[in-house]
Structure 1
Amino acid sequence: MTPLLVFSIIAGYFLLLMAISHFTSRKADNSTFFTANRKSPWFLVAFGMVGATLSGVTFISVPGEVGNSGWTYLQFVMGNMVGYAIIALVLIPLFYRLKLVSIYQYLQDRFGQNSYLTGSGFFLVSQTIGASFRLFLAALVLQIAFFDAFGIPFYVTVFVTIALIWLYTFRGGIKTIVWTDTLQTTFLLLAVLISIYMITDQMNLKAPEVINVISNSDLSTIFDWNWRSDRNFFKTFLAGIFITIAMNGLDQNVMQKNLTIEKTSDAQKNIFWFSLTFFFSTVLFLALGVLLYKFALDQGIEIPESTDDLYPMLALNHFGVMAGIVFLLGIIAAAFSSADSALTALTTSFCVDILNIPKRKQESQKKTRLLVHIGFTLLMFCVIVAFNEINDSSVVNSVFKVAGFTYGPLLGLFAFGLLFKTRVKDKFVPLVCIASPIISVILDINSTVWFNGYKFGFEILLVNAAITCLGLFLLRRRT
C-alpha cells in the first residue's frame, strides 16, 4: 500500500466521523455531552458497544495470541456472558433507579465522600492505562503503514491520532459516540469477515473445508484443565465473569452509553443483545487467528517474534491491496471506537466526581469541561509514548493483567455495598483500596513459590476484590 492511499483512507474516514459529529452535536450542552439527553435508541447502543468492547486489542492481539494459547481465550468470553447477565439484572436497575450521571455517585450514597472519590480515582487510573494500551496498537499500525515512509517519529503519529479523536468528540460527547460507534463496529466486523474470505480464497478453501481446517487444528483447543495453568478453565471462566462486571458494569466508559437510553428495560435489552453479538464476534477473531497461522505455515512465512505483529504483517504485505485497505479501516475503527468513548468517560467522571461541575454556572461548566477534555487528551498521549518505550509482551495479556490490579478495589467496593447493609469508616477506605492491589501484586509475584507452583491468571482480580471486601468489613461501623 502506498502512503498516498493510506492517507486517503484515513482522511476519508475522519471526514465521515466529522460529518456525524456535526449532525449530532447541534444544540449540544453538558447534558448532551454526559448523557445524550437520555434519548439513545437501545439497539443502536448495543451494536455500537461491540466495536468499543472489541477494540484494537481484540482486533490485533486475539488472532495473534491463538498461536500461544489456542482458543482458551473463549473460556474467558464464556464467563463474560454470565457477567453481562449480572450487569443487566443487578446493576442496570440500580443505576437507573438512582438516576446517576457518574456511576461512582453510588459510592457517595452508600459509604461517603472519601469512598466516592476513591472509586472515581481508580476508574480514572484504570481507564487511562487501558485506553492508552488500545490506542497504542492503532498508532503502531499507522506508523508502519504510513508515517514510517516519511520518517515521521512515533510520537507524532500518536499526537495526530489522538488529536483527530478529540476533534470529533469535544462538542457532542457521548451522543456523538453512540452514532460513530455504530459506524466503527460495522467497519470492524466487515474487516474480519473480508480478511477471512480473502485468506480462504488464496488457500482455495470452500466453506466446509474452512470449518474442517479450524476444528481440526491444534490451535483450536478451548479448554485447559491443568489446575496450575493460568489458563485453567475454572480460573479463567470465573475471572471472565468478574472482570466483565468490573471492566463493564463498574466502568463509566461502558455504563455511560447504557445510561443514555431512556428506559431500564431497553437498557437491559441492549446488554443482552450486545453480549450475544460480542460472543460470536470473538469466535470470528479466533477463527481468523487459526487461518493466519495456517496461511503463514503453508507459504513458508516466518512468524514474527511478537504475535501482535502477525495480522498486520500478513494483511499489509501478503493479502493484496484490498485486504490492506480493509485491515486499515478495521484497526482505525477499533481504535477510535474505544479511545473516543474512553476520552469522553474520563472527562465525564473527572467533571462530575472530582470537580462537581453540575453545581457551577452553565458557561463555567462548558469551559471547565473543555479544559478537562484537553487535559485527558494530553495525558493519554504521554501514556502511549511511555508504553511504547517499555512494551515487551502481548498487549491483550498486559491490559487484563493491569486491570486485575486496578479494577479490584472497584469490584470490592461495589460488591460490599450491594451484599451488606453495614456502614464503614469512610475516611479509611482509601487506605484499604490502595493496600489491596499492593498485596495482590506481592501474591502474584510469589505465587509459584508460596503455593506449590500455582500461577495466578485473570483471577487475580477476585483476590484483589476479596482483600478490599475484607478491609471494608474490618472498617465497619458498629451503629
Structure 2
Amino acid sequence: MNPYISLVILTVYFAMLIAVSIYTSKGADTNTFFTANRQSPWYLVAFGMIGTSLSGVTFVSVPGAVANIQFSYFQVVLGYIVGYFIIGTVLMPMYYRLNLISIYSYLEQRFGFWSYKTGSAFFLLSRTVGSAVRLYVAAQVLQIALFKPLGVPFEVAVAITILLIWIYTFKGGVKTIIVTDTLQTFFLITAVILTIVLVSQELNLKGVSDIWSTVQESGYAQVFYWDTNDPKFFYKQFFAGVFIAIVMTGLDQDLMQKNLTCKNIGEAQKNMFWFTIVLVIVNFLFLSLGALLYVYATAKGIPATVKTDEFYPMLALNHLGILVGVTFLLGITAATYASSDSALTALTTAFCIDFMNIEKKPERQRSKIKFWVHIGFSVVFYLVILIFNRLNSKEVITAVFDLAGYTYGPLLGLFSFGLFLKRPVKDRWVPLLCILAPIATYIINDNSAEWFNGYKFGFERLIINGLFVFAGLWLLYDRKTGSASPSV
C-alpha cells in the first residue's frame, strides 16, 4: 500500500479527532476531564466502549490466532456475558451509590489507606502495561504501512503516535473520549464487516449462508473443547472469561470511568446491557474474519509464514487491494486509539484522585497537576512500548492476558472480599499480601503440569491469584476492630 495514501488517510482521521476535541473541550475544567459532568448519553457510552474493550489487539491478534486456537476464544467471550451481568447488577450500583470518581476509593472506605493505595497502584501497573501493549500493536502496523517506507524509525513513530493521543485528550478528557470513541468504534465495526464482504467476494461467496458454510467447513470453526488437559478446555475458558470481564471492565477505572459519566444508574445499566450484546457479536465477526482470511490465503497459494499477529496486516496491506488496505488501516487505528486514549485519561484520573488528592485543591492547581500527570503517563507509555518491542516474543493477545492474570488478581481479591464479607482486616499488611499473591500464582503456574497430572493453567491464573488475596485477607483479621466494619 502506498505510504503517501496512508499518510493522507491518517492526517484526515486525526484532524477529525482534534476537531471533535476542540468542540467538546469548550468550557472544560477538571470535573469535565474526570467525569464529563455526569451528562453522557448512555447509548454513546455503550457504543464507544466497544472500541475501548476490543483495541488493536483484538483487531489483529484474534483473526490471526484462529489458525492455532480455532474459535475457542469464543468460550471466553461467552463467559464475558456473565461477568458483565455481575458488573451491571453488583458493582455499578455500588459505585453510583458512593458517588465515586476513582473506583478504588471504595477500598479506603472498606479497608483503609493502604488497601486503597495498593488497589490503585495495581490498576496503574495493569493498565499502563496492558495499554502500552495494545498501542504497540498499532505502532507496528503503522510502521509497516507508513513510517518504514518513509524512512521513519520505530522509536519516532511511537512518539508521534502517543503525541497525537495527548493532543486530542489533554483538555476535554473523558468528555472528548465519549465522542471520539463512538466515532472510532464506528470505523472499527465498519472495517471488519467491509473486510468480510470484500474477502467473500474474492472467494466468490454469495450471501451470509455461503460465508457461514465456508467458515464452518474451513476447519477453524470449532468452538467447544472438553479435554480437561487442553488449554482450550471449555470450563477453564468460560470461567476465566467471567472473571476477566469483571476485573478488566468492572474493576478497571478506564471502562468504569465511562460508565460513571452517565446521568444515573438506570442509564448506566442500559449501557452495560447493550454493550454486552454488541461486543459478543463483534467478537464473533472477528473470529469469522480470521477463518475467511486463512481460506483465502490457501485458495490463492499465499503461505502463512508470518507470525499470527502479522497475518491479517500482511494480507490487508499487500494482497487484498487498496480498499481493504484503507479499511484495515482505519480499523486498526480506530481500535487502538479508542483503547489507548481512554486508558491515558483513566490513568491520569486515578493518579490525580488516588495519589495527588486533587479534589481538595483549587481548580487552577488541579488543572496544573492534571496537565503534568497526563504528560508523565504519555512518557511512561512510550518507554514501556520500546521495552516491550525488544522483549516480546509471544502472540500479543496472550501476552496481555498473561500480564492481566498477575496484575488484576489482587484487585479481584480485594473487591470480592470487601463486597461479600464484612470482616475487618489489618490494612497495613495488604500491600505485602498483594505482592506475594502474584508470586505464589507464578510458582504454581510454572509447575502446574508436574504438580497436577499434566494440567496447565491458562487464563484462570487470574482466579487463583484472586483466591490467594481473598484467603490472605481472611487471615489478616483485625481482632482489635472486631466485627465492626464500614457499611459500604
TM normalised by structure 1 equals: 0.99
Report matched runs for 1:44-83 at 5 Å: 44-83=44-83
Letter in 1 for 2:361: R
Residue 232 of structure 2 corresponds to residue 206 of structure 1: no
Letter in 2 for 1:109: Q
CA deviations over 1:206-244 (Å, ceiling 9, x no partner): 122211111222110001111012211001100000111
In structure 2, the partner of 1:424 is 425
Residue 323 of structure 2 corresponds to residue 336 of structure 1: no
SS in 1 for 2:220: helix
Shift of 1:305: 3.3
In structure 1, the partner of 2:174 is 174
Q: How far apart, CA to CA, are the structure 2 residues paired with 1:38 and 1:423?
A: 33
Residue 378 of structure 2 corresponds to residue 377 of structure 1: yes
In structure 1, the partner of 2:157 is 157
Q: Is this contact kept in 2: 1:74–1:222, CA < 8 A?
A: yes
SS in 2 for 1:205: coil
Residue 16 of structure 2 corresponds to residue 16 of structure 1: yes
Shift of 1:313: 0.5
Letter in 2 for 1:38: R
Q: How far apart, CA to CA, are the structure 1 residues paired with 2:5 and 2:244?
A: 40
CA deviations over 1:120-167 (Å, ceiling 9, x no partner): 000000000100010001000100001111221111110000100000
Q: Is this contact kept in 2: 1:42–1:266, CA < 8 A?
A: yes
SS in 1 for 2:478: coil
CA deviations over 1:92-147 (Å, ceiling 9, x no partner): 10000000000000000000000000000000000001000100010001000011
In structure 2, the partner of 1:26 is 26
Q: How far apart, CA to CA, are the structure 2 residues paired with 1:157 and 1:69?
A: 32
SS in 1 for 2:417: helix
SS in 2 for 1:102: coil
SS in 1 for 2:227: coil
In structure 2, the partner of 1:217 is 218
Q: How far apart, CA to CA, are the structure 2 residues paired with 1:335 and 1:286?
A: 18
> More deviation in 219-228 or 299-308?
299-308
Residue 66 of structure 2 corresponds to residue 40 of structure 1: no
> More deviation in 82-91 or 224-233?
224-233
Shift of 1:2: 1.3
Q: How far apart, CA to CA, are the structure 1 residues paired with 2:44 and 2:287?
A: 25
In structure 2, the partner of 1:102 is 102
Residue 385 of structure 2 corresponds to residue 411 of structure 1: no
Q: How far apart, CA to CA, are the structure 1 residues paired with 2:467 and 2:300?
A: 49
Report matched runs for 1:250-269 at 5 Å: 250-269=251-270
Letter in 1 for 2:332: I
In structure 2, the partner of 1:394 is 395
SS in 2 for 1:476: coil
Structure 2: gaps of 5 or more residues? 483-488
Letter in 2 for 1:471: G
Residue 294 of structure 2 corresponds to residue 293 of structure 1: yes
SS in 1 for 2:149: helix
Q: How far apart, CA to CA, are the structure 2 residues paired with 1:20 and 1:320?
A: 31
SS in 1 for 2:447: helix
Q: How far apart, CA to CA, are the structure 2 residues paired with 1:158 and 1:26?
A: 29
In structure 1, the partner of 2:457 is 456
CA deviations over 1:291-322 (Å, ceiling 9, x no partner): 00000011111103310001000000111111
CA RMSD, 1 decimal: 0.6
SS in 1 for 2:205: coil
Shift of 1:442: 0.6
In structure 1, the partner of 2:473 is 472
Letter in 1 for 2:461: I
Q: How far apart, CA to CA, are the structure 2 residues paired with 1:54 and 1:186?
A: 13
Q: How far apart, CA to CA, are the structure 2 residues paired with 1:37 and 1:181?
A: 18
In structure 1, the partner of 2:315 is 314
Shift of 1:333: 0.2
Structure 1: gaps of 5 or more residues? none
TM normalised by structure 2 equals: 0.98
> More deviation in 358-367 or 277-286?
358-367
In structure 1, the partner of 2:244 is 243
Q: Is this contact kept in 2: 1:306–1:393, CA < 8 A?
A: no
Letter in 2 for 1:221: Q
In structure 1, the partner of 2:234 is 233
SS in 2 for 1:302: coil
Q: How far apart, CA to CA, are the structure 1 residues paired with 2:92 and 2:255?
A: 12
Q: How far apart, CA to CA, are the structure 1 residues paired with 2:372 and 2:210?
A: 55
SS in 1 for 2:50: helix
> More deviation in 7-16 or 201-210?
201-210
Letter in 1 for 2:185: T
SS in 1 for 2:349: helix
Q: How far apart, CA to CA, are the structure 1 residues paired with 2:468 and 2:368?
A: 40
Shift of 1:332: 0.5
Q: How far apart, CA to CA, are the structure 2 residues paired with 1:327 and 1:432?
A: 44
Q: How far apart, CA to CA, are the structure 2 residues paired with 1:158 and 1:304?
A: 26
Shift of 1:477: 1.4
Q: Give the total of aligned pairs.
A: 479
Letter in 2 for 1:199: V
Q: How far apart, CA to CA, are the structure 2 residues paired with 1:84 and 1:149?
A: 43
Q: How far apart, CA to CA, are the structure 2 residues paired with 1:85 and 1:48?
A: 19
SS in 2 for 1:434: helix
Residue 120 of structure 2 corresponds to residue 124 of structure 1: no
Shift of 1:391: 1.5
Shift of 1:39: 0.1
Letter in 1 for 2:321: G
In structure 2, the partner of 1:355 is 356
Q: Is this contact kept in 2: 1:48–1:181, CA < 8 A?
A: yes
> More deviation in 375-384 or 296-305?
296-305
Letter in 2 for 1:42: W
CA deviations over 1:47-70 (Å, ceiling 9, x no partner): 010011111011000000000000
Q: How far apart, CA to CA, are the structure 1 residues paired with 2:312 and 2:356?
A: 43
Letter in 1 for 2:6: V
CA deviations over 1:415-461 (Å, ceiling 9, x no partner): 00001001100000001000000000111111111111110010110
Q: How far apart, CA to CA, are the structure 2 residues paired with 1:259 and 1:380?
A: 25
Q: How far apart, CA to CA, are the structure 1 residues paired with 2:212 and 2:188?
A: 22
SS in 2 for 1:168: helix
Shift of 1:400: 0.7
